Structure 1
């Protein structure tokens, strides 16, 4: 009888990040992408957070998801009626005056927009991990990646664990690689477009972050076999989380920081 075949050797490099990641700080429980949200996520036991970073007109990286200011700030009341509603069209001196909390609840009235530096210092001081989604104003993809990379390289200099960059925009990841090649990158996907794996390799990515519904056993095996990690967004139902855990994926981004315990194995 022939000897059994040896078990395959994993090609995956060590992964320093927790499985559970709080979306935009604390999901929907606090105004997204604010220090208040991060603090609330931390109170629920989360140690890794996802946030969105874009540039002000004068090149300051700040936290905001949307291209426009209207949904999550009081820009319509504060800025000139003739001013652009695009965040990237305003200098940081104007953006810093906005209320980014009242839209969510009275409790958070007056909460300011944070800079990436604000959030970096909070995370580093508390030993938290950060997934920075590079979310450029349209037309500023490469520049946003470059500037976010420069700032992150400076802010996390000497830290044992660096942030994880991610983006749907390949140009943004290429920009970040140009200025911070040592900071790991992940390609965000809402569909499995043609050539996605080759693109991730070309960009030197360490992970794929997919819409959670895209993952199945074959795709996880393909990604892990390529030496990449498999992460999911945005997972808010128990059945979906259990499926991803069973598939042995590596990261789960959730709004439900009040429902999922980050201590879940």
Structure 2
């Protein structure tokens, strides 16, 4: 199976250069030459998938409390940009469908991380997969679905078995191979700081694709690519530039 993601992805839409998980971040990613982005998807109280990382609203919006206790209508009223910088005050939490449509229009590949609130692992996986099944990602040049949650991946695979899936881990646990095989994923996504050359070789030799997060040093990113990593997710697409990343 061909790997559909480019070598460099902007983390949470625009990395540290825009309010995270917003449509503005997608524009910033393109401005800095990215051909792909990573973003997080969670459910509202009424079951709509939208982009946000935290289970609570305080850090990246004007709201308070748990995302899963607010309806989509309530969440859409929140300011998701002012915390970053005043010019982004008009930013709102985008729905998954809006984000995918914008990525398609901008020619951005997507690493979609299923980021369920606690207790919603299965439901979030199914809802995300259902939206994708209904063609919401049409026109997106590449798509990988990843998650730390085995239950979310398994639920998504029930609905959308033909997609490409990645198992997210912080470091490479001893049981990574059995977990990956049991789930039927195609890739391992691991913290860049926790990966060494021997581990990278083991993952690739085992037949899995390999991505890392979140590497913000250009030279380290190049070294990771030489180790066999196929995609580097970064907060600083202006530093870790796709045009500079091709291994020597």
| TM-score, length basis structure 1 | 0.88
Q: Which runs of 5+ in 2 are unaligned?
A: none
Return 189-198 or 201-210, whichever deviates more. Answer: 189-198
Provide Cα deviations, 1:26-51, integer angstroms capped at 9, x if missing partner: 11111000000111111111110000
**Root mean square deviation, CA, Å:** 1.5
Provide Cα deviations, 1:202-245, integer angstroms capped at 9, x if missing partner: 11111100011222222122111221111110001133213202
Paired residue secondary structure (1:230):
strand
Runs of 4+ in 1 over 6 A off after TM superposition: none
- 1:58-207 matches, within 5 Å, as 58-76=46-64, 85-156=65-136, 161-207=141-187
2:5 corresponds to 1:17: yes
Provide Cα deviations, 1:98-119, integer angstroms capped at 9, x if missing partner: 1000111101012110000001
Paired residue secondary structure (1:71):
coil
| TM-score, length basis structure 2 | 0.94
2:224 counterpart (221, 230, 244): 244
Following superposition, the deviation at residue 161 of structure 1 comes to 4.6
Q: Which runs of 5+ in 1 are unaligned?
A: 1-12, 77-84
Measure, in 1, the Cα distance between the counterparts of 2:138 and 2:45: 29
Provide Cα deviations, 1:32-72, integer angstroms capped at 9, x if missing partner: 00000111111111110000000001110000000000100
Provide Cα deviations, 1:110-143, integer angstroms capped at 9, x if missing partner: 2110000001111122321000100001010011
2:26 corresponds to 1:41: no
Q: Rg bigger for which structure? A: 1
Counterpart for residue 82 of structure 1:
none
